[in-house]
Amino acid sequence: MLDFLPKGHKVSAERLIEGRHVAQSININAQSKALALLAGRRKIRQRGRGVDFEEVRLYAPGDDVRSIDWRVTARSGDPHTKLFQEDREQPIVLLVDLRSPMWFGSKNCFKTVLASHIASVLAWAGLDAGERVGGIAMTNSGLVEIKPQRSKRSVLRLLRLMESAPSPSASLGDDAPDTWSVALSQLKSLSRPGARLMVISDFTDLLSDTTVEKTLRDIVSHRQVVCFKITDPLDAELPPSGRYALTDGNKQIKIDTSMQRLRNAYKVDFEKSQAAVVDYLRRYQVPLVTVDTSENPNELLQRVFPKR
């Protein structure tokens, strides 16, 4: 079913259900070298820790200072640390951007359709691995969440949620969509330490949110994060030389793409913005996987999460 590809401009839950066949070809638990290289590190560290308390013992060099039991330390005069039972459960929590900038595409499908396709495959793969699966949809009308559960019903609710995301035209007059800092804060609340978070977006406005850094830092200290950047050929390069009319549904402008200076400036601007997001996330050792609407996302997911 690797030839089952996202198509069109409309997210369909029925088609997303078919993503379960693609999920059988990947191992979401795989710690691939591809992710490590994208994150700027040789080895992917497992974020988080067990949350079930086991015992207290004397602190030893190398222990996590965050686990120090300050009450016992104060009573005894010697530093003590808490030990936790190993927690192997790693819920999969998705954050899918379905806001206005994602309602666009010039090859095969809209970005929203591609993002939803990737999210569906990851959700099914998580369920197949025996993990709890949940997620958040960033829409023009706000954030909507599905709490992680180990059930097919939970995945289906997530797929229906992506299908029902309002289009830009349907949400005209609504309040401004939530910012990244708000979305990441809700993602943190929805996921427990040790969870794996999959964030899917074009990230066009990530760096414009000056308050996002603290939340992101808190998230990556206890969770493993992988970001998928959705792109389209027209993001990187203007269409062939000619005169084009562009509209957002309200206003219309005309551009002449035969001007080489304009074409060069457009391409350079995209490359700079792309590099800025990569560098920003790499500071926190978060891998950024780029997926274009002109590519086969299933083959890419196989490389990122290889099945051994």
pLDDT tens digits, 23-50: 999 999 876 666 777 776 544 444 444 4
User: What is the C-alpha separation between 138 and 179, in angstroms, rounded?
Assistant: 9
User: What is the C-alpha separation between 5 and 296, in angstroms, rounded?
Assistant: 7
* pLDDT given for residue 46 in this prediction: 45
The domains of the chain are located at: 13-44+89-304, 53-85
CA atoms within 13 A on the CB side of 216: 21
Residue 184: name the closest of 95, 102, 289 by CA: 95
* pLDDT given for residue 246 in this prediction: 81
Mean pLDDT in residue range 78-98: 81
> Which residue, chain included where needed, has tokens 């369920």?
127
Task: Convert the pLDDT of each residue in 217-271 to its tens digit.
Answer: 999 988 999 999 999 999 999 999 999 888 766 788 888 899 899 999 999 999 9
Residues paired with 253 in a beta bridge: 246
The token duo for 270 is 């995209």
Mean pLDDT in residue range 177-194: 90
> What percentage of the chain's residues is helix, strand, coil (to nearest 5)?
40, 20, 40
* pLDDT given for residue 160 in this prediction: 97
Tell me how far the alpha carbon of residue 185 is from its chain's centroid: 14
CATH fold for the domain made of 13-44+89-304:
Rossmann fold (3.40.50)
Q: Picking from 80-84, 155-159, 171-175, which range would have the lowest pLDDT averaged per residue?
A: 171-175
Residues paired with 107 in a beta bridge: 109
> Which residue, chain included where needed, has tokens 């079930």?
52
Contacts of 144 (CB under 8 A, 6+ apart): 136, 137, 161
Quote the percentage of the chain above a pLDDT of 90: 63
Task: Convert the pLDDT of each residue in 104-148 to its tens digit.
Answer: 999 999 999 999 999 999 999 999 999 999 999 999 999 999 999
> Which residue, chain included where needed, has tokens 């797929």?
159
Q: What angle do CA 26, 29, 33 make, to 5 degrees?
A: 85
Mean pLDDT in residue range 150-166: 95
Mean pLDDT in residue range 276-300: 94
* pLDDT given for residue 50 in this prediction: 47
* pLDDT given for residue 221 in this prediction: 87
* pLDDT given for residue 55 in this prediction: 75
Residue 3 predicted with pLDDT over 60: yes
Q: Whole-prediction pTM value?
A: 0.83
Highest mean pLDDT among 72-76, 134-138, 191-195: 134-138
What is the amino acid identity at position 28? Answer: I
Per-residue confidence band for 60, with pLDDT thresholds at 50, 70 and 90: confident
Quote the percentage of the chain above a pLDDT of 70: 86
Looking at every residue in the chain, the average pLDDT score rounds to 87
Residue 272 predicted with pLDDT over 60: yes
Residue 210 predicted with pLDDT over 50: yes
The token duo for 119 is 């999210």
